[in-house]
């Protein structure tokens, strides 16, 4: 028989860990400082590695492309006016 049980998955290790003494806390360290050794090197757990944000660079390249096309159109327009 089938029960409506959710598929088992590993528990999310959300929290923070000190990189110097590997002290872990689920709610973060007070003042961003490890209570065990006083280190500020705190690492977040349970999150995927940060991926670089692509949209900003893409929009910048798109704006550059549009600007180049506008410049080209303006030059063609000027040349056409000079012909007439």
Phi then psi dihedrals of residue 45, to 5 deg: -105, 165
**CB-nearer residue toward Zn ion: 28 or 75:** 28
CB of residue 46 to Zn ion, shortest distance in Å: 18
CB of residue 26 to Zn ion, shortest distance in Å: 15
Report the SS3 class of residue 11. Answer: coil
**CB-nearer residue toward Zn ion: 38 or 57:** 38
DSSP letter for each residue of 30-75 = GGG--TTT----EEEESSPPPPPP-HHHHHHHHHHHHHHHHHHHHH
Binding residues for Zn ion, per CB under 5 A?
18, 20-21, 23, 34, 36-37, 39
**CB-nearer residue toward Zn ion: 15 or 20:** 20
């Amino acid at each position: 028989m089938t029960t409506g049980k959710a598929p088992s998955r590993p528990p999310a290790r959300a929290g923070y860990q000190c990189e110097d003494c590997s002290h872990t806390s689920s709610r973060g360290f007070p003042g961003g400082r490890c209570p065990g050794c006083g280190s500020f090197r705190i690492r977040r757990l349970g999150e995927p590695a940060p991926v670089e944000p692509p949209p900003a660079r893409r929009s910048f390249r798109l704006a550059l492309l549009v600007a180049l096309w506008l410049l080209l159109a303006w030059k063609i327009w000027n040349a056409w006016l000079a012909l007439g």
